Structure 1
């Protein structure tokens, strides 16, 4: 019987520790450089990720869109839960985050693009889709330039299929007035097991809104 001397297990642990440190340092640098684009200096907790994704109907999801994927905290979990024939479109303005995701995550279902969430329908068309089942956002709406949050909310409503959902996590209730005129059903609650505690929103697009768009 072969016995593990510990030597083989130390190297992967050291590598994982080094990778986590590099990831955290990149995230912290981006927060320092662009605090208005990165919502928090600390990545989202597993509890927040689970709370955001727990009601997603993965069996019927063909296109999942993520705004501001950053270092891929949500991205990896979405890929783990998605169908093998589904698509994840990740949109980020930050070229460093885009480059990181392209280097670190090798999954043919993932399409990472650099640009604004306000152009979501153009990016969707680029990967062969006309409507999204779910759109997830961690963009800090309270710090976006004037008019950008409104544009993103409107484009998101137009990009979702009837019954599709806009899933948003924030650190304030600022986004709710942007959602209510565009989505008939808006629900929110607080996830306390996150630093800082986060408020999560589920905004559903109805058939009536779909016809009006």
Structure 2
């Protein structure tokens, strides 16, 4: 069902969906390995799609950690609500990452420790991408981490405009293979689980 939903949405909205298939479990592990689940109080996920990363977040988080899912696609948003609408301390909104600050205030999120992103920045208009990343950096401050994946490193320079440290790893067990970028404005820390590669 997840794969079919992704394929249909890719056919209908290729620029916003960004992929033919949902992310793999291996990529989900890679995306969440940089998170300290013992200390994380608030986690946001941009563009969760069918919930591959969401599932990992729910399973790994400690009791009391709140998660905010922001999904712009109506089909995926309904699917997420069907799957996770009953889950405690999990908020699902059908909206844009550009309005994250609004949703944080609405649902009582004072800050975010981590923001995971499945957004296809390569196909997002530059103005919107800049706004999202500017808001993301502001929400996270100097200690929070932004974790995203991209199929190429064409937008590496874009992320470097808003974050001082990028740790980049490659996950080959995904179709197509993906780069995972873990970004922070804090001090350089090699605890992201993977070696840093050049772009």
- Please give the TM-score of this superposition, normalised by the length of structure 2: 0.89
Counterpart of 1:150 in structure 2 is 130
Partner residue in 2 for 1:165:
145
Matching residue of 1:64: 43
Residue aligned with 1:132, SS: coil
Q: Residue 19 of structure 2 corresponds to which residue in structure 1?
A: 40
Rounded Cα–Cα distance in structure 1 between residues aligned with 2:70 and 2:100: 8
Corresponding residue number in structure 2 for 1:204:
184
| Contact kept? 2:2, 2:22, Cα under 8 Å | no
CA distance in 2 between partners of 1:59 and 1:120 (Å): 24
> Is 1:140 equivalent to 2:141 in the alignment?
no
SS of corresponding position for 1:36: helix
| Larger Cα-atom Rg | 1
**Aligned equivalents of 2:2, 2:30: Cα separation in 1:** 23
Residue 126 in structure 1 maps to residue 122 in structure 2? no
- TM-superposition CA deviations, 1:61-96 (whole Å, max 9, x none): 011100000101111110011111011100011111
Structure 1 position 49, deviation (Å): 0.8
Higher relative contact order, chain-length normalized (CA < 8 Å, sep 6+): 2
Q: Corresponding residue for 1:18?
A: none
Within the alignment, does 1:195 sit opposite 2:175 as a pair? Answer: yes
**Structure-1 separation of matches of 2:78 and 2:88:** 16
**In the TM superposition, what are the counterparts of 1:174-189 in structure 2 within 5 Å?**
174-189=154-169
Larger helix proportion, structure 1 or 2?
1
- State the match for 1:90 in structure 2: 69
- When the two chains are superposed, the root-mean-square deviation of aligned CA atoms in Å is 1.3
In the aligned structure 1, how far is the partner of 2:28 from the partner of 2:53? 6
TM-score by structure 1 length?
0.84
Is 2:31 the partner of 1:52? yes
Give unmatched runs, 5+ long, in structure 1: 1-21, 208-213
Structure 2 Cα separation of the partners of residues 204 and 175 of structure 1: 16
The structural deviation recorded for 1:150 is 0.8
The answer for the alignment partner of 1:79 in structure 2 is: 58
For structure 2, the 5+ residue unaligned runs are 188-199
